[in-house]
Amino acid sequence: MIDRNAQNKKNLRSAYWVLFLLALSLTLGVVKWILFAPKGWNESNTKELFDGFYEGAGNISGDVQQRKAMAKCFVDKIMVLYPNGIDELSADTLKKVSERVGMECTSTVTQLSWTPLIEKAILKKFKALDELKAYSEEKKTVYANCLLTKLKEKYPKGLVGGISQNEMDKVYGECLYVLK
């Protein structure tokens, strides 16, 4: 009944990454890096950067290997971009670079765990569905919560890969009763 296409999936995935990157920028402690990082790369600041990104990746995935792959990708790319270190970068530049590189490294994500950040992003996207424009905020919220609950029941360990349109259509249909 509600026909969602690949663009909806792309928008949902983009929302995950935006929220993830916001959490990442807090986790990295950009100010700490600018004020206290030694010149160039060493074992200590490389590990600190890896650990910061690894923690931020926990907002998307609970899978340790996946988080390590994301953190390694991030550190490797930052070190190539800035072989002399990042201590000379402004906080604003570092944030922009971190967001861009973070987006590139999220391609390693194959499973989204049910974290509060992911759930919030999914609820926001569901409430913004074009098909719900005519409904009250209360109805949108109830419908979005129903969809999230159904997905969590069907995928208790998180979202692995993509969900087919057919599967999503079934979930949409299972929650239509709340809109009546």
Q: Classify strands 159-160 and 111-112 as parallel, antiparallel or unpaired.
A: antiparallel
What residues contact 172, with CB distance under 8 A and at least 6 apart?
1, 2, 4, 147
pLDDT digits (tens, 9 = 90+) for 107-127: 666 667 788 878 888 898 899
pLDDT digits (tens, 9 = 90+) for 138-177: 999 999 999 999 999 998 888 776 678 888 889 999 999 9
Position 41 scores a pLDDT of 85
DSSP letter at 37 equals: P
Position 105 scores a pLDDT of 79
Residue at 154: amino acid letter: K
Q: Note whether 99 and 21 are within 8 A (CB).
A: yes
Q: Output 126 or 2, whichever has higher pLDDT.
A: 126
Helix/strand/coil for 178: helix
Position 24 scores a pLDDT of 56
Query: Following DSSP, what letter does each residue of 110-166 receive, concatenated?
Result: -EE---HHHHHHHHHHHHT-GGGTTS-HHHHHHHHHHHHHHHHHH-TT-EES---HH
